[in-house]
Amino acid sequence: MINRISFVFIAVVFLSSCHNGGERAFLYLDGFTQGTSYYIAYNSPDSIDYHEDIKELFAYIDNSMSIYNPGSVISAVNRSEPGIRPDDYFVAVFERAMEISEKTGGAFDITVGPLVNAWGFGFTERENITPELVDSILGFTGWHKVRLEDGLIVKDDERIMLDMNAIAKGYTVDVVARFFDSRGINDYMIEVGGEIRVKGTNRNDQLWRIGIDKPVDDPAAMSRELQEVLHLTGASLATSGNYRRFYIEDGQRFAHTIDPSTGYPVRHNLLSATVVTTTAMDADAFATAFMVMGLEESMEFASSHPDIEAYFIYDINGMSAVAHTDGIKDMIRR
């Protein structure tokens, strides 16, 4: 469930950065963080380059929640080192992850990493999957088996491992947005690993235009075509999907989204879920949860939460179809 792919970066660059006359003083930053790329555009009337400040924020978050950094807080927690007191970044993401896990009935779960690894979609080699192996791993996964007590992470089983990849990149976007807000910057687009937050307008004084990829079986992402373009401001967007990360074995297709309740890859017709909401952290997590829940349950959930809009691409007999919440219609402009 935890692995995520950037679906919208190219669309952001070409739809929002093109410019003509009347341009404003926009600055553009890009690079790599948390094992992925980032792209940032912001209106800086005083032409101040905040790149070093932002890279410092990235470093703080990496030292807090990167499972690829052996010196990070989360790595120490996963090793069950005693007395590790999580920082404010870690606590904010952990507490929100627990809330979203409860809201989604466990479809979102930051403890599912060992299952993702076992199926070959994490950072270890795929294991020989048997029902016995899945059942054994399920014994030490589950969001309700870990909690924050007196400022410390308490695990019911020392083998429990936390992986915040499906929410931390969204949170990183929100941290940068708060930094810009504190500097009085009112027009920006922040993208980290496909999670996006926009405010104000682009350099042409228009709403930010964010593209959603068509679901094409193309693991290398060499062929990309837009399914839709959303016009956004004051909102965050994230997309999760199964059509770029999968493998086929004995004629069966195994998607990278793992259902935390069963321990097996999901088997439904939902190809991708795009979520638009206030914070990138929430958009990130709910997009992942929806890929576990499937089309009908996700549509019902999103429609019953006024702060969430969602755009779904699903399969019908080998053909893609679209469903979305009512609010999405206002974001689509021909």
Q: What does the pLDDT read at residue 247?
A: 42
Return the SS3 of 257.
coil
Q: Calculate helix-pair angle for 165-182, 280-293, nearest 10 degrees.
A: 160
Q: Tell which wins on pLDDT, 268 or 186.
A: 186
Q: Tell which wins on pLDDT, 129 or 259.
A: 259
User: DSSP class of residue 328?
Assistant: G
Position 306 confidence tier, pLDDT thresholds 50, 70, 90: very high
Q: Tell which wins on pLDDT, 17 or 309.
A: 309
Classify burial at 269, counting beta carbons within 10 Å of its beta carbon; exposed 0-12, middle 13-18, buried 19 or more.
Answer: middle
Half-sphere exposure of 292 (CA within 13 A, CB side): 25
Query: How many C-beta neighbours within 10 Å does residue 45 have?
Result: 11
Position 5 confidence tier, pLDDT thresholds 50, 70, 90: very low
Q: What does the pLDDT read at residue 1?
A: 45
- The beta-strand segments (E) located in 250-308 are 252-255, 270-277
The domain 9-331 is placed in CATH, from the list 3.10.520.10, 3.10.129.10, 2.30.42.10, 3.40.50.720, at 3.10.520.10
pLDDT in tens, 111-125: 999 998 887 776 666
pLDDT in tens, 205-214: 999 999 998 8
Biggest alpha carbon–alpha carbon distance for the chain: 64
Q: What does the pLDDT read at residue 41?
A: 98
Cα gap 46→227, rounded to integer Å: 37
Half-sphere exposure of 316 (CA within 13 A, CB side): 7
Q: Tell which wins on pLDDT, 68 or 18.
A: 68
Return the SS3 of 141.
coil
pLDDT in tens, 23-64: 578 999 999 998 899 999 999 888 899 999 999 999 999 999
Mean pLDDT of 283-294: 96
What lies within 8 Å, CB to CB, of 204 at 6+ separation is: 19, 20, 22, 23
Mean pLDDT of the chain: 87
Return the SS3 of 196.
strand
pLDDT in tens, 193-235: 999 999 999 999 999 999 998 876 555 455 567 889 999 999 9
pLDDT of 171 strictly over 80: yes
Contact indicator for 113, 163 with CB cutoff of 8 Å: yes
Return the SS3 of 327.
helix
Lowest mean pLDDT among 73-77, 108-112, 195-199, 257-261: 257-261
Q: Which residue has the tokens 């007191």?
A: 85
pLDDT of 319 strictly over 90: no
Q: Is 324 left (phi over 0), alpha (psi -120 to 50) or beta?
A: beta
Q: Quick one: CA dihedral 281, 282, 287, 291, positive or negative?
A: positive
